[in-house]
Chain A
């Protein structure tokens, strides 16, 4: 089981689905950011699995995974800064009370 590409890809797909559920269903903005991190990790797992099991890719899969990690760190920084800036004005972390653009 640990020697088949399909197992790792299905695992990544399940983790991606969990993350998408959290992103769609949670009310808290930081919960949504955590779900985005789960989805990024799922994609990273599939990239590393492709790199390890497909010989034509060689080490490039792992290097792309490292790049994805750096971009995820940048995304978390900016996203959390935006959430904190909104929290300072609206006094709530719940996204369905952010209705300034519909008024």
Chain B
């Protein structure tokens, strides 16, 4: 089947809001190349479970495509149109299973040496889209906070080497009550700028009590979900003929209810997000440091929050993968020093991902070695590559960075 054959009723399997959205644009969808359209449908089919920022971006993208003339559309998408696809891809159910199609497309593009052409086409399209539909400016400058090193008493590894050139390194931070001070700052921002999913607290361990206005995700809270997921992976892998790609497809189809969610809060969007962190992330099921980093990355990319506080916690020590996935309720041996190194890199990635959002030049970032006196603050008013021995509280430091 080709896009030109599309009919509105073929989207009847989509969730209600997604169906409504896509049905309104069937006309323009018919004119899109098959190498492009399923990528768009992969986003659209999830519309009911997307964060507000994602929804608005998708709506604008569709409206923009709809506003183009046939000639402009060809021009915008010519790179995609020139790709050769297989008959198997053309005959697959790309309407109802667009994510599966995109996975198969990716494999096909690698195999046929067309990945670079696809990449160039995607970059060209994204550039034009950004010009036509600029990303939304945030209603307030964004703030990112990362706390690393929980449980580490002494450390001989130099920290923040990648971040220091971008901001000021403080050696005499007052660590007392630091986490609470920072959570208070985040809560105050949530009250001052009440944006849905605009203020996040991600904890790689057990979350500290926090203001209900924050979107809170913690590795500890998801322990029962992770246990159910591990059981499902085990049962799938024991089935004859099950390979990694099949397993990935099965995992991608899991819904919150399959893993014991929804939670008591009944937030379908957040539940879906959390499930995706565990089913689509690599290593997130077994290493809390990976979970915290990947969740922060996805929260920034998808929800585009105004405030993000990420607190890393010690992960379990490395063991064979199968053993880690099969672990029961026994207490895992932890690796605080290894986790500190993971989190130090994770903090850098949090900053990089914050920089990818609109308004990056006004954003500020703080990384703190928990319960210690070291921190780096980055912001428009702080000099780069400097050091300070001034005794300062964390909330004050954040104020300087903003």
* Pair from one complex: no
Q: Which residues of A line the B interface, CB within 8 A?
A: none
Q: Which residues of B line the A interface, CB within 8 A?
A: none
